[in-house]
Structure 1
Amino acid sequence: MSKPRLSRSALAGSELLPARPEGTGIVHLGLGNFHRAHQAVYTAAALAQDGGSWGILGVANRSRAVADALLAQDLLYGVVEISPSGSRVSVPGAHTGVLVAAQDPAAVTAAIADPNVRIVTVTVTEHGYTFSPKTGDLNLESAAVQKDLHQNEAPTTTVGQLAGALTIRARTHRAPITVASCDNLLGNGRRTAALVRQFLEHTGADDVIDWSADSVTFPNSMVDRIVPSSSDLYDAQSTARLGAADGIAVPAEPFSMWVMEDSFCAGRPRWEAGGAVFAADVEPYESMKVRLLNGTHSLIAYLGALDGRPTIPESIGRPFVEVAARAVLVVEYLPTVPVPDGVDIEDYIAQLFVRWSNSALGHKTAQVGSDGSAKLSQRIPIPALYHLKRGVAPHCLSLTLAAYLCCVCPPEGFDPGPHAGSMTDPARQRLAGLAASAASGEHFVRSVVEHGDILPVELARFPEFITRTAELVDTIVRHGPMAAAVEAANSTLSTGADGSGTTLD
């Protein structure tokens, strides 16, 4: 006998039935798995404790699939927390509606401009902020940005939507609002504020800029939870636990962390009920996460994919991948991270390797490795420049770039395998053009740094970084990822962050 579709009536009488939000106080841009397993879960915990009108209007970017499925399930879905010891299912129930930006961009702007909305949260990935990796400023070469700048309504970029909605608010009811970026950008609140301001400057909206100074806040935040892609397996687990058919269950690891500046000018939910932390300075947490977790995660994904491994646990289970991961994390990333007060960094690092080894989770290398052109611009430059300016070659950071290039723009005649081939990246075509015109591997790497819009041109001032990256590309192509990883890790461990040599326990 088939189970009824997941709905509030199907869960009637169940301890898993969440309270219905009393209103919509939050608009969230980016209705992907991460949001539904992170911010929505924290908001549901706050609503369960205090009630209130902090429901979330979720905005999908392009696809109607999740939006339609949510509507068909009374805006409910299961979050399946997975570990080797078993799984548990919860139902957040924090959403009050959904929109699809590509189909109705004007509705998105209007929703953010609604005076009842007091917070906008954002998870659109690094690529979604339309900034130039070279300068960090609004990318005026983007056709989408130019279109938004020269039309008066219905912007389609995230920055354009925010700027358009703030313009309406400033020129009508003038109610304050907070814009909270939850993406892996260092200083994500400050970065979002700068991009929105630049957009407003280009549209001549000085009055909106003046109003925003006192009526809009952009707190920095750090978010952390591994959330793999959905699958029928997780839908089945959620369905079995709920007793109702769930077609959009979200898998997630048990670990979750959210650190924010408490700068919400129009109020906020008590996210502390879900375990959120509020700190005066979030940037140390951001640096720790973006470099130690995300940066190392990227290297694991690229090496694993090139080695034919479909998942992160299978990749980190390869001894050469673990050695390279520890080398880049401890020797090259860690010296550039200001460890937050109260954080036991050795425990944090040990926990990272436990999380990456969660075989029950099955996080795919293709998912983690996708969009590297946007991700690596946040992860490699500052640590690489830190070491290069001290006369120390960051071999494993060069390995990260080399492995990325072999995955998304493999040299002629080299097959990176199906998992690398499945990685999506907006820079693929651009990189292919650079490769086609390059006279050598080193020339290609230099072109990537100077013209690829991935890394800052400043790195090109250090020929040793260019040369080392090209050498490691060549090693991957000729001898495979294991040989390149062992070579880079040994070089890093023998040199050390300060040039004196080091070993890992």
Structure 2
Amino acid sequence: MNPSMPRLGAAAVPQHRAPGAAGVLHLGLGNFHRAHQAVYTAAAMAADGGDWGIVGVASRSRGVVDAMREQDLLYSVAEISPSGTALTVPGVHTDAFVAAEQPERVVSTIAQPGIRVVTLTVTENGYSYSPATGHLDVADPQIAADLRGEGPLTTIGQLARGLQRRAALGGEPVTILSCDNLSENGAHTRRLVTEFLQELPDRSGADALEYLERSVAFPSSMVDRIVPATTDRLRDDVAHRLGFWDAAPVPAEPFTMWAIEDRFAAGRPAWEAGGAIFTDEVGRYEQLKVRLLNGTHSLIAYLGALRGAETISGAIAMPEIERAARAILRREYEPSVEVPAGVDVRDYEEQLFGRWANSALGHRTAQVGTDGSVKLRQRIPEPATQAFERGEQPHLIALAVAAYLCCVAPRPGFDPGPHAASMVDPARARFAAIAQTARDGAECARRAIADLHLFGLELAERSDFIARVGELIDTIVHHGVSAAIDDAVAASDAAAAQQREVLR
């Protein structure tokens, strides 16, 4: 902290003092929530008022909680683009705490009648489900502990126990709103919470199940904003611009989008004041985001990391990576998407390339590539399966998988570079053990995709896809990333030319 500078807080900027009453509990007090839902809520309250302050709950880390509490729960959002930086202070949080330290407080807060919406940004990895079945992973030690009455420490356990307590205290209606990159995230969350309550012994979850059916809504939503990690350089820049020291600023791109099903059990903030879209086509917005943006983003991150690019903008500036990104987006992801009404997909795609090229943002390839074993399950199986149904081999999707495996589970003697090495992944140890003992890329791909169900069951029996991934792993290892890109793009070009001939 700069000792000569006053700390950001309500006394310093009283116009941003947080409201007195909370109507929202948010699980996942990371940068994304603070630059997305909190900003929309600030706009909603400025336009329409209401008791919609947010109680923010961090999962395990004290850093952001401590910083916000020392700053009267205020922080700044820095919208960064090559043309400059704009600062805002969304003063909407009324409290903040750490779930791992106060699990009972999570349950009791969900049960409070004044809490009418519970929102979640806990990442795809935070839902405790089996990738093979899509159902609650009751073998997970933390889920098992939550079912025994310990904690709860899992998101699903917290929601289920909170709803159980709320039902016992009178059962006021409430809405659970997932804001994570999961297909049909509302229905997905509802299913997992229901399965948790069904697993409780002696029908102790029966009352909560009846209450859930009667008074709990689970709308789906799609969220979109690129939000990198906070750096010391950003803190110094914000202090210079703001005139106050902010220990917890959030960097974000100017672009933001939120599409939501308007199914709320007990009212909601006027998020449309911040630009939120209320629509019956959330599923189509999810496809647009998860496949065109996230799927292509993953390819850029893994190829970029292997080519030594620290940032996404550095990666997309490499002509061969841009060529691969355009090919996967147009030929393999776009055919799997039903575009929402009123969206021009060509404009959307060009906007994506502009966002990825935002060199001022500093979005790291390692951050985008982290948790790939969870993220890729949402981005790859369905588009790949649809390609096979059209009689096509998804060469660029195979390249994305090969690059991912080379990043997190490099073959002996292959150095993926520091950016790949710093990617965090829950499956890294299992895949690394495979890579060390597999004879070649084909065996590495087979054991990851078919034996360990990297993509669930959808692609486990696609021997042609697995073989293609294996070929590209070997190309990356023995001939380099550029050679693998040339191979995949050339194969995709040839297939596209053949298709055009068929259609003549």
Give the TM-score normalised by the residue count of structure 2.
0.96
Decide whether the 8 Å contact of 1:494 with 1:501 is kept in 2. Answer: no
**Aligned-pair identity (%):** 54
Once the two structures are TM-superposed, the CA of residue 501 in structure 1 deviates from its matched residue by 7.2
SS in 1 for 2:455: coil
Query: Residue 180 of structure 2: which of 175, 183, 189 is its match?
Result: 183
1:62 paired residue number: 60
User: Comparing 432-441 with 34-43, which one deviates more in the overlay?
Assistant: 432-441
Shift of 1:22: 3.0
Name the CA distance, whole Å, in 2 between partners of 1:220 and 1:241. Answer: 37
Q: Secondary structure at the match of 1:313?
A: helix
Which stretch has the larger CA shift, 70-79 or 481-490? 481-490
Q: Say whether residues 1:96 and 2:94 are aligned partners.
A: yes
How far does residue 432 in structure 1 lie from its aligned partner after superposition? 2.1
1:436: how far off? 4.1
Is the Cα–Cα contact under 8 Å of residues 406 and 473 in structure 2 kept in the other structure? yes
Distance 1:46 1:19, change over 3 A: farther
Is 1:210–2:182 an aligned residue pair?
no
Query: Is 1:325 paired with 2:318?
Result: no
Distance 1:217 1:498, change over 3 A: farther
- Moved beyond 6 Å, runs of 4+: none
- The letter for the 1-side match of 2:184 is G
Q: Deviations over 1:458-487 (max 9, x none)?
A: 313221101100000011111111111121
Aligned length: 497
1:298 is aligned to: 298
Change (3 A) 1:45 1:497: farther
Q: In structure 2, which of residues 4, 29, 33 is the aligned counterpart of residue 2 of structure 1? A: 4
> Over residues 52-103 of structure 1, what are the superposed CA-to-partner deviations in whole Å (9 max), with x where a residue is unaligned?
2100111111110110000011111110000101111000011011110111
Q: Does the CA-based 8 Å contact 2:133-2:456 persist in structure 1?
A: yes
| Structure 1 match to 2:234 | 234
Partner residue of 1:147 out of 125, 145, 151: 145
1:159 aligns with 2:161: no
Q: Following the alignment from structure 2 to structure 1, what is the Cα–Cα distance between the partners of residues 44 and 442?
A: 53
Shift of 1:390: 2.8
Query: How is 1:342-421 mapped onto 2 (pairs within 5 angstroms)?
Result: 342-421=342-421
Report the alpha carbon displacement of residue 497 of structure 1 after superposing the two structures with TM: 10
Quote how far apart the aligned CAs of 1:494 are.
Answer: 2.1
Cα pair 1:79 1:238 within 8 Å, conserved = no
Query: CA 1:501 to 1:374, structure 2 compared with 1: closer, same or farther past 3 Å?
Result: farther
CA RMSD of the aligned region, Å? 1.5
**C-alpha contact 2:136 2:192 (8 A) present in aligned 1:** yes
1:316 counterpart residue number = 316
1: CA distance between counterparts of 2:497 and 2:220?
29
Instruction: Indicate if the aligned counterparts of 1:495 and 1:501 stay in contact, CA closer than 8 A.
Output: no
Which of the numbers 196, 199, 210 marks the counterpart of 2:196?
199
Q: Which moved more, 1:223-232 or 1:454-463?
A: 454-463
Query: Aligned AA for 1:457?
Result: L
Q: Residue 278 of structure 1 corresponds to which residue in structure 2?
A: 278
Aligned equivalents of 2:268 and 2:46: distance in 1? Answer: 14
Work out the CA distance in 2 between the residues paired with 1:262 and 1:44: 19
Measured after TM superposition, the shift of residue 447 of structure 1 is: 1.3
List gaps (5 residues or longer) in structure 2: none
Mark the CA change 1:498 to 1:3 in structure 2 (over 3 Å): closer, same or farther: farther
Q: Residues 80-95 of structure 1 correspond to what in structure 2 (within 5 A)? A: 80-95=78-93
- Between the aligned partners of 1:97 and 1:256, the Cα distance in structure 2 is 25
**2:69 & 2:501 partners in 1: Cα distance?**
58
Spell out, residue by residue over 1:260-294, the C-alpha distance to the aligned partner (whole angstroms, 9 max, x if none): 00011111000011111100121000001000000
Question: In terms of mean alpha carbon deviation, does 445-454 or 36-45 score higher?
Answer: 445-454
Structure 1-normalised TM-score?
A: 0.96
Give the Cα–Cα distance (whole angstroms) in 1 for the partners of residues 440 and 317 of structure 2.
34
Q: Distance in 2 between matches of 1:200 and 1:498?
A: 53
Does the alignment pair 1:482 with 2:482?
Answer: yes
SS of the equivalent of 2:47 reads helix
Asked if structure 2 preserves the Cα contact closer than 8 Å seen for 1:22 and 1:52, the reply is no
Residue 242 of structure 1: how far off its partner (Å): 2.0
Shift of 1:21: 1.3
Structure-2 residue corresponding to 1:39: 37
Q: State the SS of the aligned residue for 1:320.
A: helix
1:451 matched to 2:451? The reply is yes
TM-superposed deviation, 1:453: 4.2
Structure 1: runs of 5 or more not aligned = none
**Is this contact kept in 2: 1:109–1:154, CA < 8 A?**
no
